[in-house]
Amino acid sequence: MLGSCGMRPIAVLLVAGLIALPAVPQEKLVESIEVRVVNVDVVVTDRAGNPVSGLTKDDFQLFENGKPQTITNIYEVRPTTEGETLNVAGALEPTAAQSAPPPPQEMRSRRIVLFVDNSSLPVFERTKVLKALDKYIDKEMRPGDEMTLVTWNPGLRIVTPFTSNRDDLRAAIKTMSERANGGALDLISQQDRIKKECNDYIEQARERPPMLTWAQAFDMCKGGVNAFADQMTHNAKNVLEGLRLTSTTLAGVDGKKVMVIAGAHLPERPGLELNMWAYSAFQPFIKNLNPGQAMADTSHNLMTFSIDKFAHQANADGVTVYVIDAADSRDFTSAEQATSTDIGEQFAAFTNTAQAYQTIARVTGGVLVNSNNFGSAFTTIAKDLGYYYSLGYKPGDDTKNVKDRTLVVKTKNPAYRVRSRQSYTPKSGEEQINDRVVANIYHGSVKSEWPIGVATGAPEKEGDRFRIPVHISIPSKTVTLLPQEGQLVGGFDVYIAVGTDGGAMSKVSKSAQPIKIPTNAEQSLRSKPMTYDMSIVVRPGESTLSVAVVDEISSTSGFARTKIVAR
């Protein structure tokens, strides 16, 4: 049996107090208006699949919700010398090309997640994927690149956190290669068992006198088939939730963000192929039994919305998804398959998952690879990371509409092919801070403008959980204060979240801390750091505490994190 979702939200109870400062209610002092530029990464190739270089913003057309948008800035990334990727000033006049500055380093950083779905990927196929990844690390990984390996088995597990260390990644690959993987075989054996039961019902209905009527035999067979379909639906939802959580860890970091999904079973209609088999098996014995009815029987388990929702979540997080579809693992004529199948069932099994994977890749601007050559997937990724354009535009004025906005990017030359994400979701300033707080759990490179300090005390057991004191220090010299009615006022917000390498994650908690002091007290206030004490309640085990402090007036932010061991 495939297990249930292994992820659990972490319950965090926050009890906090600001030391040596009066906590008084106050209205927001400054209303900030953000003029945000949205960047859309675009891969352009010719009909032969070769990258197209040297385009300017005048060569592109960009549409948001069907309306043309003005491209305000553009930079092109392409290899210039071995091991180097720079802006080649595709947006600038040729005479200015030599003096064009490169894009910011944080925009050029490359972060890659390999998500291996062990619940569906057979060991042999997984080994090929990991070998292809190992070659990518040797040949294509550059200084500053970060990579993480994540498995679903079922349940999310971070094999290695984001790292630029090749040796750490190779050790993680070795760990994944040695780890048992029964998920794919469980899937096949369950289908074998249900088919065997259905064939037994057919034999019982054939006997004279029959032990079952044909209608009874079919209903009993369908009971097992439907239970399997419901189980596959539950597993698919959990896999998609694991993918969603993995995507959120990238939302708050800058740069080029890629997720590679390696799997073999994420059906758009869970149970479709087994339903088709059941109808075909009983069709010779029951009049007017139509295998086409299998589509209707699985409509209540349709995963199209959930699949599309994840793809749009990845777009909102700025993540491009590439999918390695181990199609051969769904070849039911393999040695693992004990019962027979037919071409229709095999085709349904292939297309059922291929359509889901294709949707995810297409909507996010990635590529689906469903051949035996898994190395070609990483070759495509390397090429896309080395040759692309980043187009900037200011989104529409309807800032209150936070729904997904459709994006379409075209080139004026119809011979060129364009891939880019197909949606954009505006996020408020607070949502962006929440993203960065989550990202800070898993990345050591979240940009911090304040040197925030965080320390934890000894855990105290409370029932089946632990209370842990947390001490935060804030540089008072950089806190913004404004004069108001003879006093100085300001404030800051404290955000916290806790996460584990197993994918469990708390919600982001926020505590507002207003400041109001007499004017003559400013020197005393700024003579030493402000401190903020709180306590959190967590489950036993190891986790990471992420803290952010954001100035109420200037929006300056600082981030810190620390490991928690609750035992």
Task: State the pairing for strand pair 541-551/84-87.
Answer: unpaired
**C-beta of residue 158 within 8 angstroms of C-beta of residue 501:** yes
Tokens of 196: 């065997």
pLDDT number for residue 272: 92
pLDDT number for residue 91: 40
Judged by average pLDDT, the poorest of 55-69, 99-113, 184-198, 299-313 is 99-113
pLDDT number for residue 108: 66
C-alpha torsion 330→331→336→338, nearest 10: 110
pLDDT number for residue 347: 58
- Give the angle subtended at the CA of 315 by the CAs of 311 and 317, to the nearest 5°: 115
pLDDT number for residue 349: 61
The span from the CA of 412 to the CA of 302, in Å, is: 38
pLDDT number for residue 400: 57
Q: pLDDT tens digits for 42-87?
A: 999 999 989 999 999 999 999 999 999 999 999 898 886 544 444 4
Q: Which DSSP category does 286 fall into? A: S
Q: Is the pLDDT of residue 563 over 50?
A: yes
The span from the CA of 361 to the CA of 380, in Å, is: 13
SS3 176: helix
pLDDT band at 102 (very low <50, low <70, confident <90, very high): low
Q: pLDDT tens digits for 533-546?
A: 989 999 899 999 99
pLDDT number for residue 518: 92
pLDDT number for residue 61: 96
Report the 10 Å Cβ neighbour count for 427. 16
Average pLDDT on 313-328 reads: 89
- How large a percentage of the chain has pLDDT more than 90? 58
**C-beta of residue 6 within 8 angstroms of C-beta of residue 502:** yes
Taking all residues of the chain, what is their mean pLDDT, rounded to a whole number? 84
Average pLDDT on 242-251 reads: 92
pLDDT number for residue 332: 35
pLDDT number for residue 335: 36
Q: Is the pLDDT of residue 17 over 80?
A: no
All structural domains of the chain: 15-33+446-566 (2.60.40.10), 38-103+386-424 (no CATH), 110-322+331-363 (3.40.50)
**What is Dmax (Cα atoms) for the chain?**
103
Judged by average pLDDT, the poorest of 5-19, 128-142, 270-284, 313-327 is 5-19
pTM for the model stands at 0.85
Q: Which DSSP category does 327 fall into? A: G
The span from the CA of 148 to the CA of 142, in Å, is: 15
Q: Is the pLDDT of residue 562 over 90?
A: yes
DSSP state letters, 353-366: HHHHHHHHHHHHT-
Tokens of 544: 């990471």
Q: Is the pLDDT of residue 125 over 70?
A: yes
The span from the CA of 146 to the CA of 123, in Å, is: 26
The span from the CA of 187 to the CA of 182, in Å, is: 9
- H helices of 365-399, in order, are 375-386
The span from the CA of 121 to the CA of 127, in Å, is: 10
pLDDT band at 317 (very low <50, low <70, confident <90, very high): very high
pLDDT number for residue 402: 59
Tokens of 75: 């930079």
pLDDT band at 482 (very low <50, low <70, confident <90, very high): very high
Residue 545 CB burial class (10 angstroms; 0-12, 13-18, ≥19): buried
How many helical (H) and strand (E) elements, i.e. helices and strands, does the chain have?
A: 12, 25
List b or e across 481-518, with b for residues whose CB sees 16 or more CB atoms inside 10 angstroms: beeeeeebbbbbbbbbbbbbbbbbbbebbbbebbbbbe
Q: pLDDT tens digits for 424-453?
A: 998 888 999 999 999 999 887 788 888 999
The span from the CA of 56 to the CA of 60, in Å, is: 7
Tokens of 316: 């909102």
Segment holding 59, helix H or strand E = none
The span from the CA of 332 to the CA of 59, in Å, is: 48
pLDDT number for residue 101: 52
pLDDT number for residue 487: 92
Radius of gyration for the alpha carbons in the chain, expressed in angstroms and rounded: 27
The span from the CA of 380 to the CA of 371, in Å, is: 13
Average pLDDT on 306-329 reads: 89
- How large a percentage of the chain has pLDDT more than 70? 82
SS3 129: helix
pLDDT band at 154 (very low <50, low <70, confident <90, very high): confident
Q: Which DSSP category does 207 fall into? A: S
Give every CB contact of residue 279 below 8 A, 6+ residues apart in sequence.
289, 290, 291, 293, 294
Residue 197 CB burial class (10 angstroms; 0-12, 13-18, ≥19): middle
pLDDT band at 94 (very low <50, low <70, confident <90, very high): very low
